[in-house]
Amino acid sequence: MAQNAIEALDAKLAALLADWSLSTTFLALLLLAFVAYPIFYSPEPDTHPLLLARQSSAGPVRSRNESANYRSPEVPYGFPLKSGLNVKDAGAPRWAPGRDGDLRDVWREVQKGDSEGGDGIVPKGLIMTVLGKEEVLEHEVEDLSREIGVMGKFLQERVGKGSGRVAVFLPNSVELLNTIFACAFYGLSPILLPYDLSHPTVCEAINITGADALVCAAGTLPLEDVAKHCQNLKLLTWVVEKSSRHMDWSGSPNSSLQVSVWHDIISENATSTATSLPTNQPSDKLGNLLTVSQPVDSTQPPTITSFTHSNLISATAALLAALPVRQRLNPSDLVLPADSLTHTYHLCQILGTLYTHASLALTPAANPHLPFSLATRGISPTIILASPATLLDHHTSQTANLTSTLQSLLHTTHTQTLQAGRLPSDTWLFRLLAPSTTASANKPGTLRLILTPHRLAVPASDSPTLSSTQLSDLRLLTQTRIVYALTHPAVAGAIAQTNVFDYRRDDGQGPAHFGVPVSSVEVRLRSDVDDDVAGNRPKGEMVVAGPAVARKAEDGKGEGVVGVGVKAWVRGDCTLALV
């Protein structure tokens, strides 16, 4: 019996080999390669999975009804939180510790572009304005420095140093940045008014903050209403577009309000003011930067938050350090903010852009609901700062086009690649799923990173939450990595931010997690029930403390502490998520 079975097997094997040919050999080798290649040559994930398994660092002690303090692994318990940029003064020893710095040091670093530094020639970043589809204007740093000096001196002479407050009602523009730096160099306090505020709300915010001067785009506010309802204003400066400069904008409705025009001030002082700015003196008293945000209840007055230079610089340094070394801002980057710079997250990212000599592109069309495709017209950025509303609208419009069976199969395959810890490569199959939306003939570049903040304590329509599924889809649709941050009006920069290589997908419609606290703050949770915050997965109201938190005390001493008014919990991987 056994012999018959062996003889039958031998006959079948002989018949198989009798039909063997060169094509059979080729097919066998191809099948073997198809099976063996993924086993022996599987690509490595973008980061080690263990780095995502336990992301934040918890303190060893806690108080009753409070959880332990959770921090970034960069600053574990016992180490000071990040407070500054480690600015090195000229002539200081190479290994000596630097200063925290302030906003003036950011612009001084911009001025070093194309000069000789300790490690060679310092790169020079470009500063551009994108107007429509075709027009891209480049601004020289020397010209911008001259404008900062002229406007700073002009504002200081009219509103006073130390106590003077300058309200700014402008879209994203070089004039907005120049006003902020002019106030920094001349001891004034800028007040950033969101450009989408209604006229009555703008006047209300000006009165609440006690602004002495207003810099705004020409024609955006009725002059008579401003003069009537903002009687504390001493000066109004119009920023006029080139197409409207032939008109006379210097008229004033009364003698108490002086009206001036930005470009007239610059042209009148262009020859008499050098590009050198006031030097830093130990006795200098720096002004604060005030932000205005609309609360969830629209019937309530706007929320005013006062940030010191220390708050903003601490947040900027933490955001720069939050990205892995190979993903950090560098001189080869072109950063485009597609949302307003009046939000401190975007402002601190732009300060980091300037400090690292990356290039910056500003568009006056930036707003929380700017379509993603319009944001990238005329320019190809490598990094985009976008609002969740912009990304959500892009997700809705793009997923509606995924109708074919092939696209659905590709979506599933690429989602599995993301789950394995790798961003799918930009192949023709990838482009079939997500056609490129950043092509431009003006400035070549490959989009590599999108930074988007979820804002607490604002209307949900301005900052909708994104689910883990939506973020995963957006990574495929935009062919890039996405960082999701958690922000609050009282905290400069971000509270927490996801790891740039965290592609994990949690099915469901709940909000995605927000990663770990950045290195400028620490987070704890509190609850009336101690058991809620006693375990490894505490749940309670979020409390944020650190040098990036606005201080309530008038003297500005000590670290700020704020309860953000929302419930959160710490997941098993030590990341923060909202309840």
Pair 345, 198 in one domain: no
- pLDDT of residue 341 exceeding 60: yes
Nearest to 169 by CA among 125, 205, 120: 205
Asked, for residue 180, whether it belongs to a domain, the answer is: yes
Query: Does 128 fall in a domain?
Result: no
Amino acid identity, position 227: A
Q: Indicate which CATH number applies to the domain containing 449.
A: 3.40.50.980
259 residue type, one letter = V
- Decide if 340 is inside a domain: yes
* Residue 48 structure tokens: 């080690």
Same domain, 293 and 369: no
Asked if residue 222 and residue 79 are part of one domain, the reply reads no
In residues, how long is the chain? 579
Q: Using an 8 Å Cβ cutoff, are 144 and 277 in contact?
A: no
Where among 307, 330, 345 does a domain terminate? 307
Which stretches within 19-140 are classed as H helix? 22-40, 49-53, 103-111
- Please indicate, yes or no, whether residues 302 and 319 belong to a single structural domain of this protein: no
Tokens read off for 471: 């973020």
Residue range 381-430, pLDDT digits in tens: 999 999 999 999 999 998 888 777 888 888 888 888 898 899 887 665 55
**Domain co-membership, 289 together with 158:** yes
Number of domains composing the chain: 2
Phi/psi for 394 (5° steps) reads -65, -40
Q: What is the pLDDT of residue 524?
A: 97
Q: Residue 431's pLDDT is what?
A: 59
Domain around 254: 137-307
Please say whether the beta carbons of 500 and 538 come within 8 A.
no
Cα 481 → chain centroid: 13
Cα 69-75-77 angle, rounded to 5 deg? 45
Same-domain check for residues 396 and 456? yes
Mean pLDDT of 202-227: 93
217 and 334 share a domain?
A: no
User: What type of residue is 312?
Assistant: L
Asked if the structure places residue 120 within a domain, the reply is no
Question: Between residues 35 and 317, which one has the greater pLDDT?
Answer: 317
* CATH value at residue 207: 3.40.50.12780
Domain end residue (candidates: 307, 338, 372): 307
Helix axes 262-269, 141-159, angle to 10 degrees: 110
Residue 558 pLDDT class (50, 70, 90 cuts): low
How far is the C-alpha of 146 from the C-alpha of 98, rounded, in Å? 28
| 446 and 465, same domain (yes or no) | yes
Domain final residue, candidates 277, 307, 337: 307
